[in-house]
Amino acid sequence: IYEFNATNIDGDLVSLEKYRGNVVIITNVLAKMHAKYAERGLRILAFPSNQFGNQEPGNETQIKQFAQGYDAQFDMFSKIEVNGENAHPLWKWMKEQPNGKGTFGNIKWNFTKFLINREGQVVKRYGPLDDPSVRTKSFPPLPN
Ligand SMILES: *[C@@H]1O[C@H](CO)[C@@H](O)[C@H](O)[C@H]1NC(C)=O
Ligand SMILES: *[C@@H]1O[C@H](CO)[C@@H](O)[C@H](O)[C@H]1NC(C)=O
Ligand SMILES: *[C@@H]1O[C@H](CO)[C@@H](O)[C@H](O)[C@H]1NC(C)=O
């Protein structure tokens, strides 16, 4: 992931190089995660997407306000597309990785998350029914 850039919610271009050495979860929704994982080096990157039933129709300002009210434990990025021709290059790449393909390739619904190890590789893709944020007690051990 370190080769990719993305625009954060404030409009600044961010190199994902800044996450080198961290375990990262990249998600297209706002996810609640237990703070103890942040202390252990977990970073959550949230990319709002409006490709699923118009769930995040707001602009960046509105999304940011919403996230603040959510006790956000993650880094917010600008709205992107996750499927199709105009999908963000990071998301296109993650979906092509051996551990990132999922069942059908495309992002199925709002709960898709990619788990990135400390070397920047996709190690697991969580589907809509397999969500780490709603199973905090059984969240798997962080990869090395
Ligand atoms: C990311 O941004 C840097 C600095 O602007 C640029 O040199 C690099 O080519 C960009 N990488 C990609 C994959 O676009
Ligand atoms: C976002 O939308 C709100 C409400 O329509 C508006 O007040 C605000 O200026 C917009 N912000 C941006 C950055 O477009
Ligand atoms: C995800 O989609 C489900 C089914 O439509 C919906 O009930 C839920 O509120 C959505 N969650 C988020 C965070 O948008």
What DSSP string runs through the chain?
-TT-EEEBTTS-EEEGGGGTTSEEEEESS-----HHHHHTTEEEEE--B-TTTTS--S-HHHHHHHHHTTT--SEEB--BB-SSTTB-HHHHHHHHSTTT-TTTSS--STT-EEEE-TTS-EEEEE-TTS-GGG-GGGPPPPP-
Residue 38 has pLDDT above 60, yes or no: yes
User: Which one has a higher pLDDT value, 126 or 110?
Assistant: 126
Query: In angstroms, what is the span from residue 10 Cα to ligand 2's centroid?
Result: 13
pLDDT of amino acid 136: 36
| 13-15 vs 23-27, strand pairing mode | unpaired
Tokens of 128: 């809509």
pLDDT of residue 12: 94
Note the pLDDT tens digit of each residue in 62-114: 777 777 766 556 788 988 888 888 999 999 999 889 887 766 556 655 567 88
What pTM does this model have?
0.73
Average pLDDT over residues 40-64: 74
Ligand 2: lining residues by beta carbon, under 6 Å: 59-62
Domain ranges of the chain: 5-126
Q: Is domain 5-126 given the CATH code 3.40.30.10 in the classification?
A: yes
Nearest CA to ligand 2 atom 8: 61
CB 122 within 8 A of CB 100: yes
Q: How confident is the model at residue 1 (pLDDT cuts 50, 70, 90)?
A: very high
Pocket of ligand 1 from Cβ distances under 6 Å: 3-5, 15
Ligand nearest to the CA of 62: 2
- Ligand 1 atom, smallest distance to 89 CA: 13
- For residue 137, pLDDT over 50 is answered with no
Share the mean pLDDT of the chain: 76
Q: What is the pLDDT of residue 105?
A: 57
Ligand 3 atom closest to Cα of 55?
14
